[in-house]
Structure 1
């Protein structure tokens, strides 16, 4: 019996050129998509071309003039039907093997001693592959949200994959074709987004077909980009080597010869990136997130008290808690906190745990303690940070990313930070989760520069004042303009039709601009902190202040990028001085800017208010001036680093890589949130068959209830259960530091399916007026009524498409009782607005007058042609509903519960009937059932809301 002939140990039993990896990847990926497309078009054409608004042949009839047929999207083709879905998934699974080999070989091509970026590029490729599996195997039919999240993450990760591939490629055909396909890919994104918005928001027939063509082109260019690797891989030979001579029947190809020492180990590379290093970086990021969450919550809690006192309450002094770093001037205080940094980090968590304290005043004082420890923790963290090479850059980058993380948290939770002390389980708070993670991050906090020798001699430090000024201006601008992604959009908002950015989806663009600024601060810190950078940032601030709509927003984006880019330079500049003096003075100046930021709108209630009345330009200009002083101070700071160029290189690449990983992930998260929130059904009124329009007016006291909890959820439930189609909200502008930079309309509008006009923005210096409508807003104009002495009176004049009829709605908040002349002028101004309209009109207002007396007779007059919804209702002082040329059928007053200090007034109108109304009241039994108010509010009502004053609704002929 003959024995098998074995190969000798070390024999090469199989080999293949590396280009076959590229061929296999291209072939399997291309066949997966094309086979699904052919099968889908053949078997289920009418089903997969149908979208949420149109189906065959509706959209085809629109686009056939340009010889296009209705075409399916990628998601509908690969995920909705059998067998195309199964065929696609099988071949994509087969593609996984060549895909991982492609990533590995790409790394081998570009890996060089001391080069760290190829490692990051390979990690991005792996993460991108897994997100591909997410949207492939979780189809839109299975789970639409997660399918979209994975899809968006994949597209966003494509950015560093393509750009990084181009960056690390050597000159040749591979680089040339990568540039061609990469540029084509990004160019296609622009019309893709445009036509998606045309389809999703504007419901344009044919837009989805056009969108689908661009979507398929992205697939083609994506696969084609990776196919360029064939030019690189042709230089590789892949071999299977029998190390122990166990194979038989395969003659050896030839003896193996090592052409590349894969065991080469560069110590600098190994120390350049590690999971432990990334974990430490993420701990700093989360501690920064806690800092910003606690700091931004302080103003919201302070604001609660002057609301009830209608002026200075005394609790405003807690704002000065942020100057706590001056305590580090005490003997041994700095060394104590430097030796035990965990104490200050744990101390700032008291501000997060404040949600457990029930009383408003006690909760405010608890947060004050958190702010004290938080500012001390920040001061200690950066003290002497330049003693170690690039440590300041690392910590400053983590600080900025923590700030972005807080903005994303607000973006996801409708402009409320989920761990603020005004949040709890009942209004969607995540306080327990945030606190638990915060304890872990605080305990793991370290101070690597502890014990390090100060590398900056006293003679070269310059004056600490410049550093403090710059830090004050920077933190104020970050807080006032960027702590919420919707603030910039509302600075430039002018109403309908939309001619500028919206909080959703463009809040994600603001966040991406922040991420870009952080990255620039890492890779080009000397440039961003130069006078050239300051001039560019100042131009951006000027454009933001001076212009509206897209022009102003682009200026805001320039300012955004600039502010985030100077964080490392400014924090390093502050770190070389005594932390008590520098950070103490910085936060004192910051507090002065915060007060000025409030004074510009609260001038009627504070001492010296008229000096800053409506002078946002002074506040913004002062902040930029302080930043200019900081640029001067930063220029005096010697560049931190080591004499060892290799160590510098490794540390720099480490910081850049950590930043890329975090910023890419956060940008993808922001885009996913924007997409998820954008996917809202077309708003529908509650009683379309009866052509009923239910309106309401509510003064909501800035969204803080009597117990100091955020009240959007409770307001939403009341509006929903009352079946209100159109509501005016007053005292609704909270886009200021002292009010939390919140947007009270977002959750209500999105949960109830309503269009929103926020009204005059925060740079218009009013207390706010907003309009929410189930009916499309055709046009809206914002007004600031004459107010020579008192508070500015905002008004919105909007035209709605109500069952095909144009109906005008005016939302108005007049000035306070003390300023008689102001209210007279404002009354005349609103009367002119109403008189100028030729459409049926409803006024939802806060008038500060008694029924049938004084200014009331100007509102209800022959000039305005307006009628009171119920002239016999004598128990009114502030809220009124007036109407004209529309049939009124019902009126009710509903108690506020503990949400605010003002009731809800609501009325019902019928569109299309004879608009003649009388004041004769009739029993509910004589009114069609669809006109009835909900019975749940009778008697004791629900959740503290009930019909009151009359104890029941009133109905009219």
Structure 2
């Protein structure tokens, strides 16, 4: 596209458009370079200093410190960057004209609008510095980076193919976004771990981003060299752009295929993606609501049979039913939404579970019915779209949980009081269900099943079941694979925030690769086998890299497996697939619940069998399929999917940024050097009425002003607990450091640590458990007011296994005895005070003392300590959150020469400094059913 001048008029000004690019590059580069030179010259020691270190620990200034903190470099930068605005807006205009594609006019508008907004956000972080308003500066900065994604995508995709210019732009863009990875890593090293010099290395990558950003736009000099801008002397003056030379690539070289009659409307793609999101939200909630009942019954409850609801897909073997559901697919989708998402309106847990179970039945029917009919339709492209929307729905469900601190806001354990968005989900889900498209059958009867070559129904069903299970177990939360590789402090691997965004982006990449079908089934199978082995055997970054490979393996397999399953009778193939899914889910429970289920010893701690079996079944399904026909017409299906996947990628990065902690945690009473520590068995974050309880837990912990708290029965990163991570929400809401404890691949019920004090080191232990459930422990060293204090969080085994508990008490005794630092034990001991194993915990070998040995009314929770001044002890009622109270102790660091009083010499509250007292809101009826109980008041010690 070009604007042609009126040749009857003389030109006042005529200039080659490449000089606009030169002006933009010179102004932008000189602004940053001048600020850096002046800043280093005048204020070097000031601009290299940060909140933790100065020169020589830090030696290179960040961009923000250089351009925003000091005069005159700040003014010089702002003047020069202001001069960039003129060339910048001209560059956007000329880029729009140069890259205009008549086949995609809206895409050009989208690109230039993103470019304009991006330019405005640049002005935001340039003229509002971090010193002026830190939050506003960060919002504009992250918006600028996020908008860089669609801007550069627009420019690169609109640049003609088979040209060096496209390569230059692509490589520059890839380098830019790759640089973000080490930049984030060193920022975490600086902000979280306070590593000296990390901020200077971070600054190198930050300046590299500036250079790459300017370089990307400077390539316009090559693109504009054949364009001339003319200003002619007409009335009014006429501005025109003339293409004076041949374009980089001729129109004949561009593939101008007409729009396919089989192309799918974007609305259909969106509706199917929402339906898939509802599918994943409902089926993940079924196991979570089932879990409530054996949890409170401490064994098989009978409600576990509702897991068989997935098998209702067998009704599709009845031709009239299959015919009706194909003609009216809205029926099964509506039932799924109303009974699944709408189940939150049912107060009674039993009835709520039944509602979710029925919804899960119809969710499985919807999937089976639609996969079959899309596969049997006369549109190859349309079926590929549908299989990809199944992946997109999974990504959406994981993304929503990432934004909501690992709870899905439309689950039936959520409501308006605990962060639920159930009404919104219900409205969107019903609209999508009502608009669910009907797939027209081919001229062949829909009752005739067409099997692909070299494929069997049995192997395909096994692969389908293995795939659905693996997606359910590993990818329904962005932090699951990360927690698998978690080893404690100091952090040497990925953490849920921000690296959950990387998990999501790899899911997105895998979804795209699965649609493009650019990898053979043999190579894909090899990737799955190798990456699963690395995931299982590795830890921290090595294990996570294996996990990323496993993500690609699963996501790429989705369209292959579903496409293959569509060739068989849906009532048969999906019933077989869901049966395999159920068997694997039960096995997944057995590996940790072996002490409470029949035949549990068979699968005790055998994650290797579960991971290996599910991966092997998928590989079997892949290697026995023929995908040659599946590849036909695939390129036509890519473009619209790209838009959704790009948006999801942007959202992933934005959420990671918004969730990343902005302030360091601080203890509640630093002037008194007080440590308030608590221990609480939280029953996996489900309260007595089957509602998510993290919000109320957070409120109680905050009301009690706990600086350190140990949580027991806290591992929720399993299918039966919804693949959640309670520590993320509690840690972020309370602004505390958190340690998840032994991960889900360690087969425990979990223990976790939250701390207002920096965690210098933490070691995870599995105590001896030859017969019963595994006993997890965390041994952490905290930086408490400049001194090292150890905290041990421990959950002993069950009452029935006496040998286990004896061996575990010896193990914890030795751990505590090995520390020569002040130490607090926050524990679940399963013993009577002053009897049996109690005398191993409180002993000369351990060096530990009971916080209140006169408290006879204990069985499970105990607080022990040594080399600290004990000042208070209280027991707080649980309300309806769980079945166990919260016990709290108050301690102070010893001054040099202080004697430790381990006797039970209690004093009256009036004799205690007000800063050391427990909050008085817990007297009487307390607050939200939390009050002092057993003693009806706290105890204070001399």
- Is residue 784 of structure 1 aligned with residue 766 of structure 2? yes
Shift of 1:761: 0.7
* Structure 1, unpaired ranges of 5+: 1-7, 643-647
Task: Give the conservation status (yes or no) of the 8 Å contact 1:78–1:85.
Answer: no
Q: 1:428: how far off? A: 1.2
**For residues 538 and 466 of structure 2, what CA distance do their matches in structure 1 show?**
22
* Residue in 1 that maps onto 2:342: 353
Q: Specify the alignment match of 1:327 in structure 2.
A: 315
Residue 725 (structure 1) shift: 0.6
Residue 12 of structure 1: how far off its partner (Å): 6.2
Q: Secondary structure at the match of 1:727?
A: strand
Q: Aligned ranges for residues 525-924 of structure 1 at < 5 Å?
A: 525=518, 527-528=519-520, 530-635=521-626, 639-640=629-630, 648=633, 652-913=634-895, 914=898, 916-917=900-901, 918-924=903-909
Structure 2 residue 13 is matched with structure 1 residue 31: no
Q: Deviations over 1:733-760 (max 9, x none)?
A: 0111011000011111112121111111
Q: Give me the whole-angstrom Cα distance separating, in 1, the residues matched to 2:287 and 2:242.
A: 75
Q: 1:207 to 1:151 in 2, by over 3 A?
A: farther
- CA displacement at 1:397 relative to structure 2: 1.1
Q: What is the aligned partner in structure 2 of residue 170 from structure 1?
A: 162
Larger deviation, residues 759-768 vs 83-92: 83-92
How many angstroms does 1:696 deviate by? 0.4
Matched, 1:942 2:930: no
Inter-partner Cα distance in structure 2 for 1:344 and 1:904: 45
Checking the alignment, whether the CA contact within 8 Å between 1:49 and 1:72 is kept in structure 2 is no
Q: Cα–Cα, structure 1 residues 32 and 784, in superposed 2: closer, same or farther, change >3 Å?
A: same
Distance 1:469 1:435, change over 3 A: same
Deviations 1:577-606 (A, max 9, x none): 111111111111101100000010001111
Question: Would the aligned equivalents of 1:701 and 1:901 in 2 still touch at CA under 8 Å?
Answer: yes
In the TM superposition, residue 641 of structure 1 has moved relative to its aligned partner by 7.1
Asked if 1:512 is matched to 2:505, the reply is yes
* CA distance in structure 2 between the aligned counterparts of 1:934 and 1:807, rounded to whole angstroms: 25
CA distance in 2, matches of 1:255, 1:851: 90
Give the secondary structure class of the aligned counterpart of 2:676. strand
1:154-177 residue CA offsets vs partner (Å, 9 max, x unmatched) = 3444664576478x44345x3565
**What is the DSSP-based 3-state SS (H/G/I as helix, E as strand, rest coil) of the residue aligned with 1:909?**
strand
Alignment equivalent of 1:444, drawn from 435, 443, 446: 435
Q: Does 1:382 align with 2:371?
A: yes
Show the counterpart of 2:123: 136
Whether contact under 8 Å (1:401, 1:518) holds in the other structure is yes
Aligned to 2:938: 953
Contact 2:31 2:76 in 1 (8 A): no
Contact 2:49 2:55 in 1 (8 A): no
CA contact (8 A) 1:196 1:208 kept: yes
Alignment partner for residue 930 of structure 1, among 872, 891, 915?
915
Q: 2:408 aligns with which of 405, 417, 435?
A: 417
With structure 1 as the length reference, what TM-score do the two structures score?
0.89
Distance in 2 separating the partners of 1:186 and 1:708: 43
CA 1:132/1:432 → structure 2, altered by over 3 Å: closer, same or farther?
farther
Residue number in structure 2 paired with 1:458: 450
Q: Distance in 1 between matches of 2:621 and 2:232?
A: 63
Q: TM-score, normalized by length of structure 2? A: 0.90
Greater mean alpha carbon deviation, residues 587-596 or residues 184-193 = 184-193
Shift of residue 189 of structure 1?
Answer: 3.8
- 1:247 and 1:94 map into 2 onto residues whose CA distance is 25
In the alignment of these two chains, the number of paired residues is 923
Q: Partners in 1 of 2:608 and 2:558 — Cα distance?
A: 23
Cα deviation, 1:248-274, whole Å, max 9, x if unaligned, reads 999999999999999999984555999
Matched, 1:127 2:114: yes
Distance in 1 between residues matched to 2:809 and 2:64, nearest whole Å: 56
1:72 maps onto 2:64 in alignment: yes
Residue aligning to 1:5: none
Change in CA separation of 1:915 and 1:486 when aligned onto 2, cut-off 3 Å: farther
Distance 1:939 1:459, change over 3 A: closer
Structure 1 CA distance, aligned partners of 2:144 and 2:48? 19
Partners in 2 of 1:460 and 1:190 — Cα distance?
43
Superposed counterparts of 1:258-407, under 5 Å: 268-270=257-259, 277-349=265-337, 350-386=339-375, 387=377, 388-407=379-398
Describe the superposition over 1:750-807 as per-residue Cα deviations: whole angstroms up to 9, x where unpaired.
1212111111110111100111111111111111111111111111111111112211
Give the aligned CA root-mean-square deviation in angstroms: 3.7
Report the 3-state secondary structure (helix = DSSP H, G, I; strand = E; otherwise coil) of the residue aligned with 1:551: helix
Post-superposition CA distance 1:417-444 (Å, at most 9, x none): 1111111111111111111111121122
Question: How far is the alpha carbon of 1:147 from its aligned partner?
Answer: 2.1
Give the Cα–Cα distance (whole angstroms) in 1 for the partners of residues 245 and 36 of structure 2.
50
Alignment of 1:242-261 (within 5 A): none
| Aligned-partner Cα distance in 2 for 1:532–1:460 | 21
- CA separation of 1:204 and 1:768: change in aligned 2, threshold 3 A: closer
Q: CA deviation at 1:126?
A: 4.9
